[in-house]
Chains A and B, each alone.
Chain A
Amino acid sequence: KAGVTQTPRYLIKTRGQQVTLSCSPISGHRSVSWYQQTPGQGLQFLFEYFSETQRNKGNFPGRFSGRQFSNSRSEMNVSTLELGDSALYLCASSPAEVSVREQYFGPGTRLTVT
């Protein structure tokens, strides 16, 4: 099976702009989680989707949003970008339905905000 894919891999944006990142999970996985990783904060949970429903979200401002489509592909959007949003954004899919154990991560999208 193909692994989790994320596009784009690299992105440079300017403060105030918005960005949309895409994630395609492993075939058959319906749970998709998003994380932000920075050197200072480590891996921080953003949100999790299952069958197009957000089941949980982390402590991030409302500028961070996401959605999941009927084919389980997911997107996350960050509006009004700030310098502090520069990070590696990781998406992970899981074969589990009643938990998020055993997550399979994509390569990430490196976002740089200037």
Chain B
Amino acid sequence: SQKIEQNSEALNIQEGKTATLTCNYTNYSPAYLQWYRQDPGRGPVFLLLIRENEKEKRKERLKVTFDTTLKQSLFHITASQPADSATYLCALERSSYKLIFGSGTRLLVRP
């Protein structure tokens, strides 16, 4: 069955450093992959979408890469800030109209 794996351990980094989060998937070749941010007690917020024919996508301090051979996406936050502390989720459209989410990685940015 389709599996989406994200590092369950929290990532703890110093302010100003680059945070890199990983999303690995199996048994599927998605047309695109999405990243969301979720703060405690709130709904996820859409951040970026990258298509299978795109190697890299950027939005302000965010960068996403998509390697369909490795079945992996990397999510980078450059010049990280304490306000970036949240849980980050990756998601794939598993079958038509059904979005499957990874379990998320919690990011903690220390001032």
Residues of A within 8 A of B (CB): 4, 31, 33, 35, 42-43, 45, 48, 50, 55-56, 58, 88, 90, 92, 99-108
CB-CB under 8 A from B43, the residues of chain A are 4, 90, 92, 105-108
Residues of B within 8 A of A (CB): 31-32, 34, 36, 41-46, 49, 89, 93, 95-104
Are A33 and B45 neighbours in the complex by a CB distance under 8 Å? no
Are B95 and A56 neighbours in the complex by a CB distance under 8 Å? yes
A45 to B98, CA, bound (A): 7
A105 to B49, CA, bound (A): 16
CB-CB under 8 A from A103, the residues of chain B are 34, 36, 44, 46, 99
Assuming the contacts A92-B43, A101-B93, A108-B42, asked whether A42 and B98 have C-beta atoms less than 8 A apart, the reply is no
Considering only CB atoms, which chain A residue lies closest to B100 in the complex? A45
CB-CB under 8 A from A107, the residues of chain B are 42-43
Give min CB distance, B66 to chain A, whole Å: 14
Are B96 and A55 neighbours in the complex by a CB distance under 8 Å? yes
Are B97 and A101 neighbours in the complex by a CB distance under 8 Å? no
A68 to B69, CA, bound (A): 39
Interface-central residue, A35, A101, A102, A106, by most chain B CB under 10 Å: A101
Considering only CB atoms, which chain A residue lies closest to B48 in the complex? A102
CB-CB under 8 A from B41, the residues of chain A are 88, 108
CB-CB under 8 A from A35, the residues of chain B are 101
Are B93 and A100 neighbours in the complex by a CB distance under 8 Å? yes
Return the 4 tightest CB-CB contacts between A and B, nearest first: A105-B43, A43-B101, A55-B97, A56-B97
Assuming the contacts A101-B93, A105-B44, asked whether A48 and B32 have C-beta atoms less than 8 A apart, the reply is no
Are B93 and A99 neighbours in the complex by a CB distance under 8 Å? yes
Are A48 and B97 neighbours in the complex by a CB distance under 8 Å? yes
A-B contacts, 14 listed (Cβ < 8 Å): A42-B102, A43-B101, A48-B97, A48-B98, A50-B97, A58-B98, A90-B43, A99-B96, A100-B93, A100-B97, A101-B34, A103-B36, A104-B46, A108-B43
Interface-central residue, A56, A104, A108, by most chain B CB under 10 Å: A56
